[in-house]
Amino acid sequence: MTEFISKLSLYLQYPFVRYALIVGVLIALCSSLLGVTLVLKRYSFIGDGLSHVAFGAMAIAAVLNLTNNMPLVLAVTVVCAVLLLRTGENAKIKGDAAIAMISVGALAIGYLLMNVFSKSSNLSGDVCTTLFGSTSILTLGKTEVVLCCALSALVIIVFMFFYNKIFCVTFDETFARASGVKAGLYNLIIAVVTAVIIVLAMNLVGSLLISALVIFPALSAMRVFKSFRSVTVCSAVLSVFCALSGMLISIMAGTPVGSTVVAVDIAAFAVFSLISLIKRGIAK
Amino acid sequence: MSVLSCRDVCLGYDGKTIISDLNFETDQGDYLCIAGENGSGKSTLIKAILGLIPLSSGKITTGDGVKRNEIGYLPQQTSIQRDFPASVWEIVLSGCQGGAGMRPFYSKAEKQTAEENIEKTGISAFKKRCYRELSGGQQQRVLLARALCAARKMVLLDEPVSALDPIATAEMYGLIEKLNKEDKITVIMVSHDIAAAVKYADKILHLGKTVFFGSKDEYVKSGVSFGFLPGGEVK
């Protein structure tokens, strides 16, 4: 145990480890907040689709040799999120097909661009990093950390401010519209915030595992808790706990960060499912 | 003055007309039942009354101090709601959202309204319970309480008993009748259940090949209801 702590404190002396922990916790918190809404609105895959768009945008940024790719990636992803939401309303190509199309398309174009224009000698390594986020969270610079903190704070404030409206629109959009709630506006806000969260989360788990970060805490919390508020709070706490322990394990054991965090999330889901089963057993 | 009037309303989508030149009006305290076959445009009409879809032509107006977004709407249940983790209190309170504007939290008065409507619909006992664990009849009462929060004197019910067993159906009809008679709330109800419509409603609007609007006595005499009423024959 003392060995564990001394090893941990040694690692914590490096600023990049501290940055990674701060950013990881914030991202986990943000993604879990909207996760509940996204799962319930059957938007689970919008996370997947948008993360691939972000991957494509990153590829473009890499080709253009941008040192700070965050603004470009953010802009492209937000635009796509809004477009995806638009098609949801009056669709020639329906929701899931549109998401699948954009998702696969962005992934393919991104890889193609990287392959044709990349100057890096380790192409498959670069792609792997972007897809699985294995090391990028450990290479964050100070500006990225500050930007990340600011965006997370923004996401949390927006979520708190619109909490009741998000609930109303998620539970019953038709009723919300009928009673004069601006459902279109709030759906737009949900889409933009989702895009911001996904761009942030790419640093932690990469674009393939983002859905896990969004969905698992929400699903786990929904197994056990019964009101929207308690589910939201529980999924936020659980997500932070899983991200923190996942990152610590990965630092100690030298495993890839993203996959370790997701593995911890899966374990938590199993535990919560068990709790729900036991609870139901007692109730009977 | 009528609380809701439809003048020469035409409705349709994708260039197809579903309802043409429809005229009817309801007064304060009326109990109007909208009946008709599947595909006769009942749901479309409801959406038009609520202002969710545009009219092809004609005019729907509300009066007597009721604004368009002050119609309490009880929609049919969606698949999302069946596994939604939310307490009864949270759902009923969300009925007040339309009046809250940009304000992020609910006011004391809104919480009071929600409390009263929970009382009125007899669901106080499961205020803290989870919505998805309630029976079909209890769920409908929760949604009715939510509709009352959004409503000022008028509710619009879309097949409120379609998924309920006979006992829950009778309770629901009793509750709606009480709201209509005691609280003088105007009720507009869409229903397949013509027998109940004739029993409870004052006025009936029948959509379909023959369109009928009038009091229920005229309706029974008119013969439009044949095939819907017990003992009636399809011509």
As given in the structure block, the two tokens for residue A78 are 């937000």
Residue A284 lies in a domain: no
Residues B231 and B161 in one domain: yes
pLDDT of residue B225: 61
Residues B234 and B163 in one domain: yes
Structural domain span for residue B51: 1-71+153-235
List C-alpha distances in Å: A33 to A90, A145, A219, B118.
28, 20, 12, 29
Q: How many domains does chain A have?
A: 1
pLDDT band at residue A237 using 50, 70 and 90 as cut-offs: very high
Contact between A262 and A212 under an 8 Å Cβ cutoff? The reply is yes
Residues B1 and B61 in one domain: yes
Structural domain span for residue A178: 6-277
- The contacts of residue A239 (CB under 8 Å, 6+ apart) are A28, A29, A31, A32, A35, A213, A216, A217, A265
Instruction: Encode pLDDT of A160-187 as tens digits.
Output: 999 999 998 888 888 888 888 888 888 8
Spatial separation of the C-alpha atoms in residues B78 and B68, rounded to whole Å: 23
pLDDT band at residue B228 using 50, 70 and 90 as cut-offs: low
Question: What CATH number has the domain bearing residue A177?
Answer: 1.10.3470.10
Residues B67 and B95 in one domain: no
- pLDDT greater than 70 at residue B156: yes
Number of C-beta neighbours around residue B220 at 10 A: 15
Task: Return the residue in A36, A156, A227, A279 with the most chain B beta carbons within 10 A, the one to mutate for interface testing.
Answer: A227
Instruction: Encode pLDDT of B76-101 as tens digits.
Output: 887 778 778 899 999 999 888 887 77
Residues B141 and B158 in one domain: no
**Which of A225-239, B57-71, B143-157, B214-228 is the least confident region?**
B214-228
Domain finish residue from B127, B150, B173: B150
pLDDT band at residue A258 using 50, 70 and 90 as cut-offs: confident
Spatial separation of the C-alpha atoms in residues B147 and B163, rounded to whole Å: 18
- What whole-number percentage of chain B has pLDDT above 90? 3
Residue A182 lies in a domain: yes
In eight-state DSSP terms, residue A125 is H
Residue A218 lies in a domain: yes
Q: How many domains does chain B have?
A: 2
Question: What CATH number has the domain bearing residue B227?
Answer: 3.40.50.300
Instruction: Encode pLDDT of B114-142 as tens digits.
Output: 888 888 888 888 888 898 888 888 888 89
- pLDDT greater than 80 at residue B232: no
Q: Provide, as residue numbers in chain B, all residues whose Cβ is less than 8 Å from the Cβ of A163.
A: 104
pLDDT of residue A240: 94
Residue A91 lies in a domain: yes
Residue in chain B nearest A43 by alpha carbon: B80
Give φ, ψ of B67 to 5 degrees. -90, 165
Question: Rounded mean pLDDT of B218-231?
Answer: 66
Question: Rounded mean pLDDT of A59-73?
Answer: 77
Are residues B71 and A227, on separate chains, in Cβ contact within 8 Å?
no
Residues B170 and B216 in one domain: yes
Instruction: Encode pLDDT of A188-236 as tens digits.
Output: 888 888 888 888 777 667 777 788 888 899 999 998 998 999 999 999 9
As given in the structure block, the two tokens for residue A146 are 């500050």
Are residues A226 and B85, on separate chains, in Cβ contact within 8 Å?
yes
Residues B200 and B140 in one domain: no
In eight-state DSSP terms, residue B87 is B
The CA distance from B14 to the nearest CA of chain A, in Å, is 12
Residue A25 lies in a domain: yes
- The contacts of residue B145 (CB under 8 Å, 6+ apart) are B92, B95, B114, B117, B118, B120, B121, B123
Are residues B80 and A225, on separate chains, in Cβ contact within 8 Å?
no
Residues B99 and B58 in one domain: no
Residues B56 and B104 in one domain: no
Residue A16 lies in a domain: yes
Question: Rounded mean pLDDT of B3-19?
Answer: 79
Domain finish residue from B150, B183, B210: B150
Highest mean pLDDT out of A56-65, A155-164, A203-212: A155-164
Considering chain A, what is the average pLDDT of its residues? 83
The CA distance from A167 to the nearest CA of chain B, in Å, is 8
Domain finish residue from B150, B178, B206: B150
Residue A173 lies in a domain: yes
Question: Rounded mean pLDDT of B164-177?
Answer: 87
Residue A250 lies in a domain: yes
